[in-house]
């Protein structure tokens, strides 16, 4: 995959159509922001068990059956193949219900104290694990810690980290972003947001909170974000949702492929893709 080139530009020329979406749709999607200020408000996602995909699962009483949102799991499986970690990296935790998160939080307070728990365990309803898009990974070995699994910055783990963004994943919590995310450094916690958003965040050093705000500032009809990687051009813009029914502008039939995500912060993100063969380029 070629290096990503990022720029700003006017909305791409061409036909547009409008998709009408209810307020509940802004709470779900691969780019939904989840933290203590933006709790989970979406329904349970479509989940799949990790083991049929050949992904190793850590053995723990806290989560005997590990599931992930299907696209997230498919891309995780591809990432493990690419980094050579299918036999040595295990999934420690995937989807958790709000009830499971509440139990984990209470157990951690009892065993580790309130200070530790506040740093490493999200409040019930404010955990990305409830979306099915967050995955904790660790070196596959006996006695993997469920809350803080070992995932060192060397060997196959370092290769996983290096390639993660190309497969749609971001390292969600880092030490230099704790003031924005509310969670301490977690080298084992990855979040699926989809490509090219993952690459944009990784190369610019942005957490999801920062990226959500940047896309919101690049609202439809203003200066859109563009990214090129040799296969084509991605156009990215935000659309606010202030009413119960939002009208979201998207490329018209035959113009481009596109996908929608709620941002769980008052709007939507549109990602359009113009293949290189189509000759569509960002406008300056």
Nearest-Å Rg of the Cα atoms of the chain is 19
Strands (E), the chain: 5-9, 16-22, 47-49, 67-69, 89-93, 134-139, 169-173, 186-192, 224-228, 232-240, 245-251, 257-262, 267-275
Query: How do beta strands 232-240 and 267-275 pair?
Result: antiparallel
Among candidates 249, 174, 255, which has minimal Cα distance to 20? Answer: 249
Angle at 200 between CA 195 and CA 205, to 5 degrees: 135
Where b means 16+ CB within 10 Å and e means fewer, 114-138 reads eeebbebbbbbebbbbbbbbbbbbb
Contacts of residue 261, Cβ cutoff 8 Å, sequence gap at least 6: 28, 29, 30, 31, 32, 194, 268, 269, 271
One of 69, 186, 228, 235 is an active-site residue; which one?
Answer: 186
Q: Is 247 a catalytic residue?
A: no
Classify residue 185 by burial, with Cβ atoms within 10 Å: 0-12, 13-18, 19+. Answer: middle
Classify residue 11 by burial, with Cβ atoms within 10 Å: 0-12, 13-18, 19+. Answer: middle
Residue with tokens 């998709």: 19
- Phi, psi at residue 133, to the nearest 5°? -100, 0
Q: Which residues are catalytic?
A: 186
């Amino acid at each position: 995959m070629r290096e990503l080139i990022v720029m700003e530009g006017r909305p791409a020329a061409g036909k547009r159509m409008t998709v009408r979406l209810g307020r509940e749709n802004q709470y779900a999607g691969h780019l939904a922001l989840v933290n203590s200020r933006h709790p989970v408000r979406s329904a349970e996602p479509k989940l799949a068990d990790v083991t049929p995909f050949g992904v190793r699962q850590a053995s723990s009483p806290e989560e005997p059956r590990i599931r992930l949102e299907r696209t997230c799991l498919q891309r995780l499986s591809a990432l493990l193949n690419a980094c050579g970690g299918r036999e040595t990296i295990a999934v420690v935790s995937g989807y958790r219900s709000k009830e499971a998160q509440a139990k984990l939080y209470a157990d951690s307070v009892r065993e580790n104290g309130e200070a530790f728990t506040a740093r490493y365990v999200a409040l019930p309803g404010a955990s990305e694990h409830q979306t099915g898009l967050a995955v904790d990974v660790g070196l596959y070995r006996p006695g993997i810690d469920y809350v803080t699994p070992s995932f060192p910055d060397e060997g196959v783990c370092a290769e996983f980290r290096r390639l993660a963004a190309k497969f749609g994943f971001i390292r969600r919590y880092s030490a230099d972003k704790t003031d924005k995310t509310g969670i301490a450094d977690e080298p084992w916690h990855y979040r699926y947001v989809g490509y090219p958003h993952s690459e944009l965040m990784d190369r610019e050093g942005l957490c999801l909170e920062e990226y959500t705000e940047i896309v919101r500032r690049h609202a439809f009809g203003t200066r859109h974000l563009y990214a090129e990687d040799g296969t084509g051009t991605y156009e990215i813009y935000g659309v606010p949702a202030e009413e119960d029914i939002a009208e979201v502008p998207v490329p018209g039939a035959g113009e481009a492929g596109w996908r929608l995500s709620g941002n769980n912060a008052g709007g939507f993100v549109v990602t359009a893709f113009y293949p290189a063969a189509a000759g569509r380029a960002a406008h300056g």
